[in-house]
Structures are given as structure tokens and as C-alpha cells.
A and B are shown apart, each in its own frame.
Chain A
Amino acid sequence: MFRITSLSRSHPLGAKQSHARSSCFGAPVAPHLRVMSRDPAIEVERLVKIYKQAPAVDDISFSIPRGSITGLLGGNGAGKTTTIAMIMGLLLPTSGTVKVLGAQMPHQRYRVLQRMNFESPYVEMPMRLTIRQNLRVFGMLYGVTGLDQRIEELGRALDLTQLLDRPTGKLSAGQKTRVSLAKSLINSPELLLLDEPTASLDPDTADWVRSHLENYCRERQATMLLASHNMHEVERLCERVIIMKQGRIEDDDTPARLLTRYGRRTLEEVFLDVARGRDEAEAAQ
């Protein structure tokens, strides 16, 4: 069992939540779900999405190994959300293919939907239901066994225990984000797709959430694809960064190598170079 001692200290409520020092994300992964495969978690091949003749995603290909954390960086309209929506099977590509955990999306999505989950600012949890009710409904949809125990675990891990019986609509933005995160972890997914997971959070809570995500992936060897504007977040969490611009992949490397190649100190500077069309040599000068 992984312990989150450092998280409890780093969060202002951590000191009061001594129980959060115990198991963070529940039981170990069921063996039948943790079949190690050489297949990547996500395989995107020549993916194109065109809305009314305007390409939102323009011929991109990449592959994400299992157990890795990858950041999808890009400005507004770069195609991050569209790419994630096609990976989830919520959006049909104009052309190209997406394979998730070995299943062709969206046609074979029911083979893998139980093993993945997501969080996005484009969807919300029903406001009139309490957190516990919402988590129960989604737990049943995902076929989670030992659901009551799982809800308690997530309540402790995400500091929601005191709020479990409060209607979701009466929570602060930060609390709602943690509820969405609890929903995205309810089925202990092998693959987690996150679209701006900390967008509405204050820096402290955002940092706390990042630590949870990092620990979750490390503890369960889960794969995470994270779309974000937040360079600090990407720099901290991701071992690889894919930078998108106008629907295309402009660069794809580890954060350290990107910094070296562009001669920059932060990913934000690299991002600005890419966004403003400066190539590596130009940026390094």
C-alpha cells in the first residue's frame, strides 16, 4: 500500500486528516485487469478531424506507452480537447485511427470503457445529487464491487469525507473538481484522460490534486494523458510533452530535452517559442 504522508502535510487540511495517511487509492489492481501488454495504452495514427472544412486536428500520430504520464500542451483551439474526445470515443474522427488499451475506438469502446475514465470541464456531475449518491451511481455503472468501501476510500483520499452527503451543487469550485476527480477514479482506471484538471483550483489545492494524480499513477501503474495550459503542472507531472498548435503536433519530447533544445529554463518559454513560431535554433539564440 502506498502512503501519502507528504500529501497530508502539504495540504492545509492534511494535518487534521490523519486517516488519509493510510491507503490512498484502495485495493491493489485485480490481476485480470493488470494484464501487461506490449501494446501502447494509446495509439493514434494519422488522426484528422474536420469541422465544416476547418481542420481541428490535422493528421497527428503518436503512441503513449502504458504506465506513463504524458502532457498535451497547446493554446486555445490547438486541438487538445478534440484529440482527447476522439481518444475517448465521444467524437468520431474524419479519418485516421485511435486504439485504446488495444481496442479500436469508437467501435470497440465497450471492451475498454470499464478500464478507463476521464475528467473534463465540459461535463459536470449532477448538482442535486449528493457526492455519495453521484459516486454510487457511477460506481454501479462501472461495475465497482465493494462500492461503499470504495466511496469511503475516495472520500478520504480526496479530502471529501465530511462532504459526502452534501449536494454536489452546493460545493465550491475546488470541491466540485475533487468530486469529478473522485468520479474519474471510482473504477480505479488503467487509463486516465484529464482535460484541464486543475483549471478552477487555487494553487494550493491544485498542487494537492497533482500530488494525488501522480501517486495514483505511480501506485497503480496507470497511464495518464493530461491536456493542460498549465506549464508548471505539465513540467511537474509529465515525463513526456506533446505540443500542439493549430491541430498539428509541433513538438514531442521529454520536458528536459525540450528545455535543452530550445535553450530555455521553463516549459512556458518553450511553449511561447512554439506558439510564436520560433524554431529551436532561433529560440536558442
Chain B
Amino acid sequence: MIAATESAFAFSPRRVAAMMLRYWYLLRSSWPRLIELIYWPTVQMITWGFIQYYVMQNGGLLARAGGTLIGAVLLWDILFRGQLGFSISFLEEMWARNIGNLMMSPLRPIEFVSALMVMSIVRLAIGVVPVTILAIVFFGFNLYALGFALVAFFINLMLTSWAVGIFVSGLVLRNGLGAENLAWSIMFLFMPLACVYYPVTTLPTWLQPAAWVLPPTYVFEGMRALLIDHVFRADLMLEALAINAVFMAGGLFAFLKLLQAARRHGSLMQTGE
């Protein structure tokens, strides 16, 4: 009835597909969940779109840098929604008190994490793609016109969002749903330092090295270089990729350590607060 026993290091696409199917069933069964994916990115884009429109009407530096605000909002949403998509899929297991079932099944942590990554892209696509189309219609800002640069921005932002999502999931596994708020708020810690809406040079000199530790800083600087100076900074993207590799390794290491701590403290059997 079942396949032969596998080793601890086996990676099964079938088990990843099982988890994706589980989240797809969940999304399909709940229209409020689908609405929630689209609602906030739309509100954000429209608000910032009008701010950009106002700034352009009144001249100044930003008037020459057409689309930097909307571009920043959309890229920030990729970062934020990517992490949220990862974390919410994970939280669904905690809310459903299903984590014990999963941890007792042959599902490996790396397969679980892989399914959450794929689902974060699916959720992001549902939420952000319609908003990017609205940005073209309402404000004439075409994110897709960034071309290859957009791919580089996207990869780097997603890697950061996954690294943070993996770390937060580990914290929730270890500490229960009392740590749930971190999933919603942790990315905002990045916001001032990642220089989403302003150049790194705006920060005090002593704070700038801290900003350059964060991969999204490179992406937002790269976006401004592209929109204002019409230059694609591949060097920034490669640096971001290197730092992201460290972030991902750190996130996975922390997740496995926190999972181990959860096994030690019995948190997997008590997934409440």
C-alpha cells in the first residue's frame, strides 16, 4: 500500500505537492482569504499612486524620477507579501492544530519549507499581479517595463522574504501562537533601514553600513538607479544575491534549531499561545 521506506535525506516532490494541494484546497474554500490577498496591495498602490501624482504636479526631484514611489510600493509589496504568504501558510497549520500531524508524518522540514515557498509565490501572484495591472491603468506605471531588472529585483526580494519567513516560522514553532504577531510585523523592522522610499545617503553616515547589510537595500537602490539614471546596477543585484545566500542559510539553520528546541520543550504538542 505504501512506497518503500526512505532515508532522512530524501526529498519527495510528491510530499511537497501534497502540501501545496492542502494550501490550494484552503485558498479555494475561502473567498475572504482570496480578497485579503488583493485588498491591501490595491489600497497601498492607489494611495501612493496619488501621492506620486501630487509630487509630479508640484515639480522637484521626484517629478523627474517618474514612478519611483509606485515602483517602491510595488517592490515593497513583493517583499512584504512574499514573507506574509510564507508565514500565513505556516500559521494556517498552527491555527488548525495540524502541526503535530505533519511533524509525525514522513514530511521532511525541507519539504515543508519548499511547499511554503512555492505557496508564497502563488499567493503573491494572486495579490500583486492584479495590482500591477491597476498601476498601469490608473497611473501609467508599467512595472513589467523594467524587464530583466524586475526579474533580478524579484529574485532578491523573494529570497529575503523566505529567509525571514523561515526564521519567523521557527520562532512560532518554538514559542507557539504568542509569537504570531512577529509574522505580521517583523518586515516593518526592515523598512527604515532598507531605504524603500529614499536613497541610502539620506541615512546618517553611521547608520548606512547597517542598511547595506540588508539585501532589499540593494534592490531599492537599484530600482532608483534604473528609474532616475536609467542604469541597471548588476553589481548591486549580485551583492544582494550573496547576502541573501547568507540570510537563507541563517534562516534555515535557525528554523532547524528552533524545531529541535520545540521538540525538547514539547511545543509541537501544544500549539496554542
Binds B, one of A141-149, A202-210, A259-267: A141-149
* B17: A residues at CB distance < 8 A: 140
Q: Report the Cα distance A90→B251, complex, angstroms.
A: 22
Bound Cα distance A124, B272 (Å): 13
CA of A69 to CA of B25, assembled, Å:
37
Residue in B104, B108, B260 whose beta carbon sits within 8 Å of that of A88 in the complex: B104
Shortest CB distance B5–A (Å): 6
Residues of B within 8 A of A106 (CB): 263
Number of interface residues of B (CB under 8 A): 43
- In the complex, A82→B265 CA distance in Å? 11
A119-165 with Cβ < 8 A to chain B: 120, 122-130, 133, 136-138, 140-146, 150
Enumerate chain A residues within 8 angstroms of B98, measured Cβ to Cβ.
123-126
Q: How far is the CB of B116 from chain A (nearest CB, A)?
A: 15
Q: Does A111 contact B (CB under 8 A)?
A: yes
Alpha-carbon distance between A141 and B106 when the two chains are bound, in angstroms: 6
Task: Establish whether residues B96 and A127, one from each chain, have CB atoms under 8 Å apart when the complex forms.
Answer: yes
Contact of B5 among A111, A144, A188 (CB under 8 A): A111
Residues of B57-100 contacting chain A, CB below 8 A: 92, 96-100
Residue A26 at the B interface, CB < 8 A? yes
Query: Once the chains bind, are B268 and A90 in contact (CB under 8 Å)?
Result: yes
Q: How far is the CB of A116 from chain B (nearest CB, A)?
A: 8
Within 8 A of B (CB), among A9-33: 26-27, 29-30, 32-33
Given contacts A51-B266, A91-B269, A145-B2, contact A138 B106 (CB under 8 A): no
Q: In angstroms, how far is the closest chain B Cβ from the Cβ of A103?
A: 9
Q: Is the CB of B2 within 8 A of A188?
A: yes
Q: What's the least CB distance linking B159 to chain A, in Å?
A: 27
- Interface size grouping (class) on chain A: 35 or more
CA–CA, A27 to B1, complex, Å?
7
CB neighbours (8 Å) of B263 from chain A are: 89-92, 106
- 8 Å CB contact of A145 from B1, B6, B25, B260: B1
**A-contacting residues, B189-230, CB 8 Å:** none
Q: A110-B7, A142-B2 are in contact. Are A137 and B106 (CB under 8 A)?
A: no
With beta carbons under 8 angstroms apart, the residue of B18, B26, B99, B266 that contacts A128 is B26
Decide if A110 touches B26 in the complex (CB within 8 Å): no
B126 at the A interface (CB under 8 A) = no
Contacts of B26 in A (CB 8 A): 126, 128-129
Rounded to whole Å, the gap between the CB of A165 and the closest CB of chain B is: 12
In the complex, whether A187 has a CB less than 8 A from a CB of chain B is: yes
Contact A114 B5 (CB under 8 A): yes
> When chains A and B are docked, how far (Å) is the Cα of A90 from the Cα of B263?
6
Instruction: For the complex, give the distance between the alpha carbons of A60 and B217 in Å.
Output: 55
Question: Known contacts being A81-B269, A92-B264, A126-B22, is A114 close to B2, with CB within 8 Å?
Answer: yes
Q: Does A108 contact B (CB under 8 A)?
A: yes
How distant is A150 from chain B, measured CB to nearest CB, in Å?
A: 7
B18 touches A137 (CB 8 A): yes
- Seed contacts A123-B269, A142-B2; 6 additional CB < 8 Å A-B pairs: A51-B265, A122-B97, A123-B100, A130-B25, A141-B19, A141-B106
**10 closest cross-chain pairs (CB), A and B:** A140-B18, A123-B100, A143-B3, A110-B8, A126-B96, A124-B97, A137-B22, A141-B105, A113-B106, A92-B264
Q: List 22 A-B contacts (CB under 8 A).
A: A30-B1, A30-B2, A33-B2, A82-B266, A90-B100, A92-B260, A113-B104, A113-B105, A114-B2, A120-B269, A122-B270, A123-B97, A128-B26, A133-B22, A136-B18, A136-B21, A140-B21, A141-B105, A141-B107, A142-B2, A142-B105, A145-B3
Residues on A lying within 8 angstroms of B by beta carbon are 26-27, 29-30, 32-33, 51, 81-82, 85, 88-92, 106, 108-115, 117-118, 120, 122-130, 133, 136-138, 140-146, 150, 167, 183, 187-188
